[in-house]
Structure 1
Amino acid sequence: MMDRPEVSGFGVRHVQVILMFFWNVLFTSMVNGFPMSLVAMTTPFTSPNPNIPTFTDWNDQSIILSSFFWGFVATQLFGGYYARKYGVKWFMVPSMFITAIICFSLPYLVVQFGSIGLIFAVVVAGCAQGLSHSMLPVFISLWVPCKEKNTLGNAVYAGYGLGCILGINIATYCATSWFGWPLSFYITAVMQFSWGCFMSMFGGNYPQSHRTISDKELEFILEDKNLHEQIPTPWREILNSRPVWALWIANGGAIIITWLSAAEFPTYLSEVFDYKIEEVGNIMSLAFLLIGLLSFFVGIVVEYFINVKQVETGIMRKICNTVASLGCSIILIRMAFFDGTESKTVLYSILGVFAFNSTSFCGYLLNYNDISPNFCGILFGLGGVVASVMNLGNPVLMTIYVRNQSDPREWGLIFFISALIMIVANLVFVFFGSGEKQEWDDFNEERKSLRNS
């Protein structure tokens, strides 16, 4: 058994984690910057340039905001499967280039075809990014040592915080500049194209095939792992597994906060509390900075309790997920009773939601790698579909019940329903979830004969 000091310092695995960190930065930058850009698209005189087009007659903003996830759901089913079979590199690079082309051409499509053109572009971008997003657990399974899963694995997802800050600030700055909201999409396209080039040059599919990795680092990465590339997917066992379904339901509950923070909180602050777009951008940037910093701290604490204090992985996952779920739910229920006069309280409430949600990265997200290192990408893709189905009603409810976006009572119903779903989803995870690798994850001749009998 190799000691960790023998592989201390910066290694090839850290380069790969940095690349995935910045993939997540660009992904969340685009997703979270888009609602800010949409506000600028539909609000006149946001830019001092009178020639910047705005579209005040659009009444399908909630549909536009959810259209990314339509495409996202359509392809994330396949990402984990193909990543396990062929590696992540040459799927993630083309998908990022496609997204860059979409972002570059989006202003033209909006001007020429209106909201229909925007929806089409965003759906295509969602398709491209959905394929890559479901590959992240596979990357962690391949490249992150078991002993560093809670720090390096968490670091991959921690790009979420920085990406949100970057996306919101780019969108806000560009919207209020002379060049207006189209500039934010051009900047995003350049960053995405740059990442694709760096990934092409420095990214790797597997540690075993990387040209410069040392034998010690390779041994450390593969320690305590039993990964297989060509074993058949145990579909029957997966679909009959209670821990898997508990994880998928927990994923669905957690996605509610992602949807609210990315798509609805900026509009809520702007419409109910009359915050200007620059102020909304600053508030959301601070919130995402908070979640990014706290998630690193949580990862270190969780790794200490698992590796040093020998606390069971499943217990730590459930604690982290419960803190996130209950904390966010309590605050959302309190927000459901706001009447539009709590200008300062709403800021603390939103920051509180993000602070509690920082523990979810070490909750349900890393649990995919716990229960099935071999099939975590497939489980993650299916979990995304389950989560999306659970949340299909969100934009519909927004369209039906929040007809007057400046009325806090109409928002209150959305917050209350969201909190209830999160609480129920977490209870399912607590009672039926697991932190142990499932028996069906390791293929052997005995299981093969049982399946064929």
Structure 2
Amino acid sequence: MVVEVVIKKPSSVLGVRHVQVLMLFLALVLAFSMRVNMSMAIVAMSDRDQDNSFDWNMQTQSVILSSFFWGYIILQIPGGELAAKFGGMVLVTICIGVNSAVSLLIPIGSYYGGWQLVCACRVLQGLSQGLLFPSVHNLIGKWVPLEEKSRLSTLIYAGAQLGTALQLMVSGFIAAAWGWPAIFYANGTLGVLWVVAYVFLGSDSPHTSRMIGEDEKMYIQNSLGHVGTEHKKLPTPWKAIFTSLPFISLIVTHCGQNWGFWTLMTEMPSYMKQVLGVDIKANGVMSALPYLAMYILSFPIGFMSDYILKKKWLSITASRKLSNSIGQWGPALALIGLSYVPAGHVALAVGLLTVVVGLNAGHYTGFMLVHIDMAPNFAGTLMGITNCFANCISIVAPLAAGAMLHDETDPHQWRIVFYVSSAIYFSFNLFFVIFGSCETQTWNAVPQAEDEEKAPSSPQDKSNKYLEI
């Protein structure tokens, strides 16, 4: 006899799970603020007309901007294993704590150690942020009920774009008012306050939380199938994964995404100052607009994708490729237009930059979901692999831009940078459109033990299945 499990939602509108979601949202806001603060600060740090500036040429600045990713790529794949072993809360706390401490030290380190010590600091920040996404994913899997997963997960991950936009917006005002060191001091101080709050409010799971009520705990655990179940790690089919053409196409399009996105992220403030002549205060506000657009557009694009699938207008594979093409071919076309904007036409340039980055939100419902579609049993591992390769590209892209920009005031040299990014966006997504697939791969099927195959399924088993997917 099968007993139906009724999952009763707690009567209170807000619960401890919402506190966890808020703290993780703020963690991503802070992490991405500290990830991109150098893009704005380096404009003031290398401005010879400013006090306390450094004589850094464009190549040196590009090395500094790319150094974050030298450390970031190292823990991409091991991050998931560490989160499973030590718990997500500990690793998220370490990530924000290390980034905050290093932010507080960067101004002093830059004076006494030069650009080399600044690079070392950024490498350390990148290394610790390699733990962020696996840890947040681990915590979402334990804290967010299936019935609330889409909206609460979206809220958490939207913190990345909001943190980027806010940092770009306020950095110019902070630097103009108190000098560029205040950018790092502000980030570090906020991060320390978050760590103190999270130590008291955070928890690895409802089971270990000291604040959660019994009703809410049972609601979450029943929804996720965590009552009386044990998670088992399946053997990873490494050879099959790396010989799968659909998965290789996923690596390719992820790399194309990171080339275009991080070229703009790291070089856009310098372009606006050197070519368009925008002062740093206006630079920050205008630089933030594209990422605010991406933050806002991620929601309607997501709803559009779900609506298309609900109406069965397109297959899952076609829907993912459509979203990804909006996210990469749209910016490719806009970049070509951007390269021909005449000097002094600030509004037109900012408008095109907003289109470039805003349309890029399409990748959230594009290749980002294909990992789950093609191999739900190994989606975390696949994401770690593609993210590792893609962030290698994040290192190369700013260096390539620096090599092309011998004179950062020359709009023709910037045109080359934009053309290269446009070509990579177009060709890498074309590879994905041709060879990508959302069909479940044969290597996703793992033979189960005979006793597990004979065991009757329950609603909790089904919930647990969807959690792993």
TM-score tier by shorter-chain length is 0.7 to 0.9
AA aligned to 1:241 is: S
Matches of 1:437 and 1:64 in 2, distance apart? Answer: 41
Which AA in structure 1 matches 2:103?
Answer: C
| Residue matched to 2:113 | 113
Q: Point out the structure with max Rg over C-alpha.
A: 2
Q: 1:450 matched to which residue of 2? A: none
Distance in 1 separating the partners of 2:345 and 2:63:
29
Q: Which moved more, 1:211-220 or 1:394-403?
A: 211-220
Q: Are 2:61 and 1:61 aligned?
A: yes
- 1:347 aligned partner: 350
In 2, distance between residues paired with 1:414 and 1:261? Answer: 10
TM-score, with structure 2 as normaliser? 0.84
Q: 1:425 aligns with which of 423, 428, 452?
A: 428
| Matched residue, 2:93 | 93
What's the offset of the Cα at 1:201? 3.0
The 2-side partners of 1:187 and 1:274 are apart by: 27
TM-score scaled to structure 1, two decimals?
0.87
Correspondence 1:194-233 to 2 at 5 A? 194-206=193-205, 212=212, 213-222=216-225, 228-233=231-236
In the alignment, residue 55 of structure 2 is paired with which amino acid?
A: T
- Higher alpha-carbon deviation: 333-342 or 397-406: 333-342
Residue in structure 1 matching 2:359, options 356, 360, 367: 356
Equivalent residue number for residue 185 of structure 2: 186
Q: Does 1:386 align with 2:385?
A: no
Counterpart of 2:190, as a letter, is M
Superposed displacement of residue 239, structure 1: 2.0
Match of 2:417 in 1: 414
Aligned pairs for 1:31-430 (under 5 A) are: 31-46=35-50, 52-59=51-58, 60-144=60-144, 150-177=150-177, 179-206=178-205, 212=212, 213-222=216-225, 228-306=231-309, 312-430=315-433
Quote how far apart the aligned CAs of 1:426 are: 1.5
- Checking the alignment, whether the CA contact within 8 Å between 1:338 and 1:408 is kept in structure 2 is no
CA-atom RMSD in angstroms: 3.0
Q: Return the offset for 1:322.
A: 1.1
- Give how far 1:148 is off: 5.2
Verify the 8 A CA contact 2:7 2:219 in the aligned structure 1: no
Q: For 2:74, what is the secondary structure of its paired residue? A: helix
What is the DSSP-based 3-state SS (H/G/I as helix, E as strand, rest coil) of the residue aligned with 1:375?
Answer: helix
Give 1:308 deviation, angstroms.
6.9
Cα shift at 1:438? 4.3
Distance 2:142 2:429 in 1: 28
Whether the 8 Å contact between 1:151 and 1:303 is mirrored in structure 2 is no
CA offsets 1:191-220 (integer angstroms, 9 cap, x no match): 222222333333343456556343233333
Q: Structure 1: state its 5+ residue gaps.
A: 47-51, 448-453
Contact preservation (8 Å) 2:144, 2:220:
no
Q: Are residues 45 and 414 of structure 1, via their aligned partners in 2, closer, same or farther at CA, if it must alter by over 3 Å?
A: closer
Q: What do the CA deviations read for 1:120-165 (whole angstroms, capped 9, x no partner)?
A: 1111111111222344444455555556554333333211221012
Q: Deviations over 1:259-304 (max 9, x none)?
A: 1332011111111111111111111222222221221333334344
Kindly tell me: are residues 130 and 168 of structure 1, through their superposed partners in 2, closer, same or farther at Cα, counting changes over 3 Å? same
Structure 1 position 27 matched with structure 2 position 31: yes
In 2, distance between residues paired with 1:301 and 1:141? 25
C-alpha distance in 2 between matches for 1:185 and 1:206: 32
1: distance between equivalents of 2:443 and 2:204?
25
Give, as a single letter, the amino acid of the residue that structure 1 aligns with 2:390.
Answer: A
Q: Is the 8 A contact 1:7 1:217 kept in 2?
A: no
| One-letter amino acid of the structure 2 residue matched with residue 69 of structure 1 | F
Provide the C-alpha distance between the structure 2 equivalents of 1:175 and 1:86, rounded to a whole number of angstroms.
39
The amino acid across from 1:396 in the alignment is L
Q: Percent same amino acid among aligned pairs?
A: 28
Task: Report the residue type matching 2:198 in the other structure.
Answer: M
Kept after mapping to 1: 8 A contact 2:33/2:163? yes
Pairwise CA distance, 1:94: 1.3
Give the partner amino acid of 1:31.
R
C-alpha distance in structure 2 between counterparts of 1:146 and 1:436, whole Å: 23
Q: CA deviation at 1:440?
A: 4.1
Cα distance per residue 1:368-397 (max 9 Å; x no partner)? 344444433332222122113345442332
Distance 2:347 2:48 in 1: 27
